[in-house]
């Protein structure tokens, strides 16, 4: 196959990934909103496409598809494009959309978005100082400079998500942690909520009637706003006005209470649904998985602590070590080279697919929770940025899971980064994240049951 044919294959696959990103965006993320700026959708799909192409090149490396010079070329090309997107394109557009939301700065949008981008670049560059990520022989404008910083951010994100996920997964799967919620509890809380609403309504009725009588008498209610407003309201005597402000304060407090009750009721409904689900076959299966994952989580925390305390970084990858163990201790003889290639492929493939899927699901949940119709553009671009950085750092870390002969291309392309630093950094942040998640979940779990369980 000529190199032109190689290029065509890789371009076709990239376009395929672009299509996936586009569909995901339309069907999942922006299900309930209208896409007004198509540039956002394009940027998201492009980031997704080039990130996935990187993973695909790793797979090609393992399987030996195409020849190594064209693989190297495409690696370099892909990396340049992705760095351009993550450092120049996406941050600029994030700044642009943030500025567009603010009415005051609307006229000089471009100017302010450039300013925001320059601020971002400054902090991004400063990020490299406290970390020993580069050897001194690098110039100032090279791929290594950019990638090292992107790697730090991405690895931090990965470790945070990983730590939280490792703890949260058994917590949600296992039914041991499910609080006991009965229909009676839910009804009691709903009754309290409706009572609060009724109290709010009766106060608002008084306010509406007072306003109407004042309007008919010709008085006007000025809400005391600002310092001078409050001084004025002391000197003028309008008893209707005073009453209104007092009642308004009571109403504000009641409305805050009603919001709290609403959220608690929603929480109880969710717990009840989970209890129902745990009684089904699927629920029982997940419960069992939960026990398995909790053991895995404890093991990972243990290993991270050992790595940090004894200052060791794994020298061999799991595949080679597994094969060594089977050959040496179990005495099974088989073709090492053949099997190591295929097992690496499967292992790396699984890691890639689960991390992509896990990330997309987390991003979607996050997006639904915090976005509104005004901020949806900014949030999607932030998510695209996170996704790109996450994938780039996955490539850095996945190097450890591959046998030596396949690591060369990553090392060649990414240059002389201190890979060991990234693994150490990952372990530290993972440990911190996992322990704080345990603390956080423990506190949340302890606090909830006392509030509204029937005795």
Partner 1 sequence: MASLDRVKVLVLGDSGVGKSSLVHLLCQNQVLGNPSWTVGCSVDVRVHDYKEGTPVEKTYYIELWDVGGSVGSASSVKSTRAVFYNSINGIILVHDLTNKKSSQNLYRWSSEALNKDLVPTGVLVTNGDYDQEQFAENQIPLLVIGTKLDQIHETKRHEVLTRTAFLAEDFNAEEINLDCTNPRYLAAGSSNAVKLSRFFDKVIEKRYFLRDSNQTPGFPDRKRFWGGTLKGLHYD
Say if CB 83 and CB 147 are below 8 A apart: yes
Say if CB 413 and CB 74 are below 8 A apart: no
Q: Name the burial class of residue 163, with classes exposed (0-12), middle (13-18) and buried (19+) by CB atoms within 10 angstroms of its CB.
A: buried
In the stretch 2-41, what mask flags binding to partner 1 with x, by CB under 8 A?
-----------------------------xxxx-------
- In the complex with partner 1, which residue's Cβ is closer, 282 or 315? 282
Q: Is 368 in the site for partner 1 (CB under 8 A)?
A: yes
How many Cβ atoms sit within 10 Å of the Cβ of residue 141?
A: 7
Q: How far is the CB of 43 from partner 1 (least distance, A)?
A: 21
Q: How far is the CB of 33 from partner 1 (least distance, A)?
A: 6
Four-residue CA torsion sign, 118, 124, 128, 131: positive
- In the complex with partner 1, which residue's Cβ is closer, 141 or 369? 369
The whole-angstrom separation of Cα 348 and Cα 393 is 14
Q: Which of residues 169-228 bind partner 1 (CB under 8 A)?
A: 187, 190-191, 193-195, 197-198, 200-201, 204-209, 211-212
Q: Is 372 in the site for partner 1 (CB under 8 A)?
A: yes
Q: How far is the CB of 263 from partner 1 (least distance, A)?
A: 7
Total binding residues for partner 1 by CB under 8 A? 39
- The secondary structure of 19-32, three-state, reads HHHHHHHHHHHCCC
The whole-angstrom separation of Cα 331 and Cα 11 is 45
Annotate 231-262 with b (16+ C-beta within 10 A) or e (fewer): eebeeeeeebbeebeeeeeebeebeeebeebe
- In the complex with partner 1, which residue's Cβ is closer, 268 or 431? 268
Q: Is 106 in the site for partner 1 (CB under 8 A)?
A: no
Q: DSSP string spanning 45-101?
A: HHHHHHHHHHHHHHHHHHHT-S-HHHHHHHHHHHHHHHHHIIIIIHHHHHHHHHHHH
Q: Which of residues 252-271 bind partner 1 (CB under 8 A)?
A: 255, 258-259, 261-263, 265-267, 269-270
Q: How far is the CB of 191 from partner 1 (least distance, A)?
A: 5
Q: How far is the CB of 446 from partner 1 (least distance, A)?
A: 22
Site residues, partner 1 (CB under 8 A): 31-34, 187, 190-191, 193-195, 197-198, 200-201, 204-209, 211-212, 255, 258-259, 261-263, 265-267, 269-270, 272-273, 368, 372-374
């Amino acid at each position: 196959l000529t190199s032109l044919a190689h290029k065509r294959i890789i371009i076709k696959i990239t376009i395929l990934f672009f299509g996936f990103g586009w569909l995901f965006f339309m069907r999942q993320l922006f299900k309930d909103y209208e896409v007004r700026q198509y540039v956002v959708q394009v940027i998201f799909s492009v980031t997704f496409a080039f990130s996935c192409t990187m993973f695909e090149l790793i797979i090609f490396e393992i399987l030996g598809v195409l020849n190594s010079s064209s693989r190297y070329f495409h690696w370099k090309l892909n990396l340049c494009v992705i760095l351009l997107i993550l450092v120049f394109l996406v941050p600029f557009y994030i700044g642009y959309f943030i500025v567009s939301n603010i009415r005051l700065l609307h006229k000089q949008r471009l100017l302010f978005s450039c300013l925001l981008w320059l601020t971002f670049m400054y902090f991004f560059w400063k990020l490299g100082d406290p970390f020993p990520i580069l050897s001194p022989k690098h110039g100032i404008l090279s791929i290594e400079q950019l990638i090292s910083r992107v790697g730090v951010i991405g690895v931090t994100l990965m470790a945070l998500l990983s730590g939280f996920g490792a703890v949260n997964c058994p917590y949600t799967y296992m039914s041991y942690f499910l609080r006991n919620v009965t229909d009676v509890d839910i009804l009691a809380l709903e009754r309290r909520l409706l009572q609060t609403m009724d109290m709010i309504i009766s106060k608002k009725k008084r306010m509406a009637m007072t306003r109407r009588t004042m309007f008919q008498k010709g008085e006007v209610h000025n809400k005391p706003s600002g310092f001078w407003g409050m001084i004025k309201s002391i000197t003028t005597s309008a008893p209707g006005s005073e009453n209104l402000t007092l009642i308004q304060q009571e109403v504000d407090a009641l409305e805050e209470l009603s919001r709290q009750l609403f959220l608690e009721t929603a929480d109880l409904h969710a717990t009840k649904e989970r209890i129902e689900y745990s009684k089904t076959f699927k629920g029982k299966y997940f419960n069992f998985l939960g026990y398995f994952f909790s053991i895995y989580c404890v093991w990972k925390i243990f290993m991270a602590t050992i790595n940090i305390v004894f200052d060791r970084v794994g020298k061999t990858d799991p595949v080679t070590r597994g094969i060594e163990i089977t050959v040496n201790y179990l005495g099974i003889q088989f073709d090492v080279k053949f099997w190591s290639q295929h097992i690496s492929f499967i292992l790396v493939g699984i890691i890639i697919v689960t991390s992509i899927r896990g990330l997309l699901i987390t991003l979607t949940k996050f997006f639904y929770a915090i976005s509104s119709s005004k901020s949806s553009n900014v949030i999607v671009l932030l998510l695209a940025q996170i996704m790109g950085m996450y994938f780039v750092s996955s490539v850095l870390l996945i190097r450890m899971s591959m046998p030596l002969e396949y690591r060369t291309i990553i090392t060649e392309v990414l240059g002389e980064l201190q890979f060991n630093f990234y693994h150490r950094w990952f372990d530290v942040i993972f440990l911190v994240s996992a322990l704080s998640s345990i603390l956080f979940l423990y506190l949340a779990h302890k606090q909830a049951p006392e509030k509204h369980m029937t005795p």
